Amino acid sequence: MAFVLKQLPYAFNALEPYIDAQTMEIHHDKHHAAYTNNLNAALQGTASEGQPIEEILANISAQPVVIRNNGGGFYNHNLFWEIMAPGGAKQPEGDLKKVIDASFGSYQNFKEAFTKAALTRFGSGWAWLVKQGDSLVISSTPNQDNPLMDLAEVKGVPVLGVDVWEHAYYLKYQNRRPDYVEAFYNVVNWDEVTRRFKG
Ligand code: MN3
């Protein structure tokens, strides 16, 4: 059973002005579609065909790099589209706020550390908010790696991630990754982050 590229849960222009419609369309319809198709092609006829993506990622060190790159790309973008939404809460609330305060001291401290992880990732990759037991930590990974992978430096369940590949921001922000990351906070879907933390 092949992996399927899900539709975006909102319109391409829904995250304007923070993330522009053209970037969203190319990012989903071209980049995410390519990761999905390449993953399916690489898995075809192997023992891992039909395995849940989380299982494949948990044993990624045993896989060829084509599955590491495209399996990560498939999973990471599924998460990325869902942890964004137009018009949501601007900050974590309720139980998630308590965990963020306990883990980082405050939302502001969290934001500074997450931004730093996003801006200091050299080249292409992701910054993550990662569930470890009842607590949260911040990490970043290169390329399409993620914290579910057995070879990740910081392992856990990703509950929030920001894509810092240039394809995620270059049309609107060019070289200004800091402006893109700052804008990203306006479209975080904290309800979905909470759901993933509790899941
Ligand atoms: Mn991307």
- Cα 53 to Cα 75: distance, rounded to the nearest angstrom: 7
Q: Ligand 1: distance of its center to the CA of 144 in Å?
A: 8
Mean pLDDT of 92-106: 97
Q: Specify the pLDDT at position 90.
A: 85
Q: Ligand 1: distance of its center to the CA of 105 in Å?
A: 30
Q: Ligand 1: distance of its center to the CA of 88 in Å?
A: 22
* pLDDT of 13 higher than 80: yes
Q: Ligand 1: distance of its center to the CA of 27 in Å?
A: 6
Instruction: Encode 171-189: b = buried (16+ Cβ within 10 Å), e = exposed.
Output: bbbeeebeebbebbeebbb
Name the β-bridge partners of 158. Answer: 130
Q: Ligand 1: distance of its center to the CA of 163 in Å?
A: 6
* pLDDT of 105 higher than 90: yes
Query: Which residue carries 């990974």 as its tokens?
Result: 141
Q: Ligand 1: distance of its center to the CA of 1 in Å?
A: 24
Residues 6+ apart with CB under 8 A from 18: 183, 184, 186, 187
Digit-coded pLDDT (tens) for 111-133:
999 999 999 999 999 999 999 99
Mean pLDDT of 75-85: 98
Instruction: Identify whether the C-beta of residue 24 lies closer than 8 Å to the C-beta of residue 62.
Output: no
Q: Ligand 1: distance of its center to the CA of 162 in Å?
A: 9
Beta pairing, strands 157-163 & 135-142 = unpaired
Q: Ligand 1: distance of its center to the CA of 62 in Å?
A: 24
* pLDDT of 1 higher than 80: no
Q: Ligand 1: distance of its center to the CA of 17 in Å?
A: 18
Q: pLDDT grade, residue 88 (50/70/90)?
A: confident
Q: Ligand 1: distance of its center to the CA of 166 in Å?
A: 8
Give me the phi and psi of 104, to 5 degrees please: -125, -10
Q: Ligand 1: distance of its center to the CA of 98 in Å?
A: 30
